[in-house]
Amino acid sequence: MTEPHELTASEVARLIASGEATAEECVDSVIERIHAVERRVHAYITLDEEGARQKAKQIDQRIKERKPVGRLAGTVVAIKDNMCTQGTRTTCSSHMLESFIPPYDATAVERIKRADGVVIGKTNMDEFAMGTSTETSHFGPTYNPWDLTRVPGGSSGGSAAAVVCGETNLALGSDTGGSVRCPASFCSTVGLKPTYGLVSRYGLIAYANSLEQIGPLTKTVEDCATLLTVIAGHDERDCTTANLDVKDYTNHLKKPISKVRVGVVKELFGEGTHEGVAKTVMRGVDTLGELTSGYEEVSLPSLEYSLPAYYLIAMSEASSNLARYDGLRYGYRTPDESLEWGDTYSKTRMEGFGAEVRRRVILGSFALSAGYYDRYYLKALQVRTLVRRDFERAFSGFDVLVGPTMPLPPFKVGEKIKDPLELYMCDVDTVPVNLAGLPAISVPCGFFEGLPIGMQIIGRPFAEELILGVANAFEKSHRLEARSPPLR
Amino acid sequence: MEKAGVKIGLEIHCQLTNLKTKLFCGCPSDYRGKEPNTTVCPVCLGIPGTLPRPNQKAVEDAVMVAVALSSHISEETVFYRKNYYYPDMSKNFQISQYDGGGGVPVATSGMISVEEDGIKIKVRVRRLQLEEDPAKLVHLGAIDTSPYTLVDYNRAGIALLEIVTEPDLTSPREARLLLQKLRSILEHLGVSDGSLEGAMRCDANISLAGGARTEVKNISSFKEVERALNFEVMRQRSLMARGLKAGQETRHWDETRRTTITLRTKEEEQDYRYFPEPDLTPMRIPGEMIESIRWRMPELPDARKDRFVKQYHLPPMSASVLTSEKALADFFEKCAHLYPNARQICNWITTDLLRCLHGQNLEIGESKITPANLVEMLRMIDEGVISGKIGKKILPEMVKTGSSPREVAHRHGLVRISEHEVLEKVVKSVFDEFPSAVKDALTDEKAVHYLVGQVMKRTEGRADPQLANKLIRERLRSKTPQVS
- pLDDT (tens digit, 9 = 90+) per residue, B414-457? 777 777 777 888 888 888 888 888 888 888 888 888 988 888 88
Sheet of B80-83, strands arranged across: B93-96, B80-83, B275-276
φ, ψ of residue B425 in degrees (nearest 5): -65, -40
Whether A365 contacts chain B with CB within 8 A:
yes
Give the domain ranges of chain B: 6-292, 299-411, 420-479
Mutation to test the A interface, candidates B270, B279, B280, B283, most A Cβ within 10 Å: B279
Q: How many residues are given for chain B?
A: 484
Whether B49 and A84 lie within 8 Å, measured CB to CB: yes
Measured CA to CA, the distance from residue A124 to residue A91 in angstroms comes to: 9
Whether A209 and B83 lie within 8 Å, measured CB to CB: no
Whether A103 and B149 lie within 8 Å, measured CB to CB: no
Whether A90 contacts chain B with CB within 8 A:
yes
Closest residue in B to A317 (Cα–Cα)? B278
Whether B48 and A97 lie within 8 Å, measured CB to CB: yes
Do A23 and A14 meet the contact criterion of CB atoms below 8 Å apart?
no
> Which helix (H) or strand (E) is A296 found in, with range?
strand A295-298
Q: Rounded mean pLDDT of A58-72?
A: 94
Nearest-Å Rg of the Cα atoms of chain B is 30
Closest CB to B49 among A203, A345, A378:
A203
Whether A349 contacts chain B with CB within 8 A:
no
Whether A350 contacts chain B with CB within 8 A:
no
Residue A312: strand pairing partners: none
Whether A239 contacts chain B with CB within 8 A:
yes
Closest CB to A324 among B91, B149, B279:
B91
Q: How far is B273 from chain A (nearest CA, A)?
A: 5
CA nearest B217: which of B227, B207, B226, B228?
Answer: B228
Measured CA to CA, the distance from residue A446 to residue B250 in angstroms comes to: 64
Residue A155 falls in the annotated catalytic set: yes
Domain spanning B420-479 has what CATH number?
1.10.10.410
Whether A206 and B46 lie within 8 Å, measured CB to CB: no
Q: How far is B155 from chain A (nearest CA, A)?
A: 16
Mutation to test the B interface, candidates A84, A199, A239, A347, most B Cβ within 10 Å: A239
Q: Which residue has the higher pLDDT, A135 or B382?
A: A135
B42: chain A residues, CB-CB within 8 Å? 102-104
Closest CB to B93 among A204, A240, A320:
A320
Closest residue in A to B88 (Cα–Cα)? A328
User: What is the three-state SS of B257-296?
Assistant: CCEEEEEEEHHHCCCCCCEECCCCCCEECCHHHHHHHHHH
Q: Is it the case that residue B482 has pLDDT exceeding 60?
A: no
**Which residues of chain A from 295 to 334 reach within 8 Å of chain B, CB to CB?**
316-317, 319-320, 323-324, 326, 328-330
Closest CB to B83 among A90, A320, A330:
A320
pLDDT in tens, B85-113: 998 999 999 999 998 777 899 999 999 99
**Candidate list A80, A113, A193, A416, residue with the active-site label:** A80
Measured CA to CA, the distance from residue B58 to residue B77 in angstroms comes to: 13
Closest residue in B to A207 (Cα–Cα)? B49
pLDDT in tens, A97-121: 999 999 999 999 999 999 999 999 9
φ, ψ of residue A412 in degrees (nearest 5): -75, 145
Closest residue in B to A200 (Cα–Cα)? B51
Whether A377 and B275 lie within 8 Å, measured CB to CB: yes
Torsion angle defined by CA atoms of residues B273, B274, B279 and B283, in that order, rounded to the nearest 10 degrees? 180
Q: Is it the case that residue B483 has pLDDT exceeding 60?
A: no
Q: Rounded mean pLDDT of A148-171?
A: 97
Residue B42: what pLDDT?
A: 96
Measured CA to CA, the distance from residue A194 to residue A268 in angstroms comes to: 19
pLDDT in tens, A389-426: 999 999 999 999 999 999 999 999 999 999 999 999 99
Q: What domains lie within chain A, and their CATH numbers?
A: 4-262+400-477 (3.90.1300.10)
Confidence of residue B484 (pLDDT cuts 50, 70, 90): very low
Residue B1: what pLDDT?
A: 46
How many residue pairs bridge chain A and chain B with CB atoms within 8 Å of each other? 101
Mutation to test the A interface, candidates B27, B44, B47, most A Cβ within 10 Å: B47
Q: How far is A91 from chain B (nearest CA, A)?
A: 10
Residues above pLDDT 90, as percent of chain B: 55
Q: CA of B262: how far to CAs of B136, B171, B208, B223, B244, in Å? A: 22, 22, 17, 21, 16
Q: How far is B279 from chain A (nearest CA, A)?
A: 6
Residue A179 falls in the annotated catalytic set: yes
pLDDT in tens, A28-57: 999 999 999 999 999 999 999 999 999 999
B283: chain A residues, CB-CB within 8 Å? none
Region of poorest pLDDT, from A3-17, A55-69, A269-283 = A3-17
Residue A185 falls in the annotated catalytic set: no
Residues above pLDDT 70, as percent of chain B: 98
Whether B85 and A201 lie within 8 Å, measured CB to CB: no
Residue B150: what pLDDT?
A: 93
**Candidate list A10, A133, A137, A155, residue with the active-site label:** A155
A85: chain B residues, CB-CB within 8 Å? none
Residue B387: what pLDDT?
A: 79
State the pTM of this model: 0.90
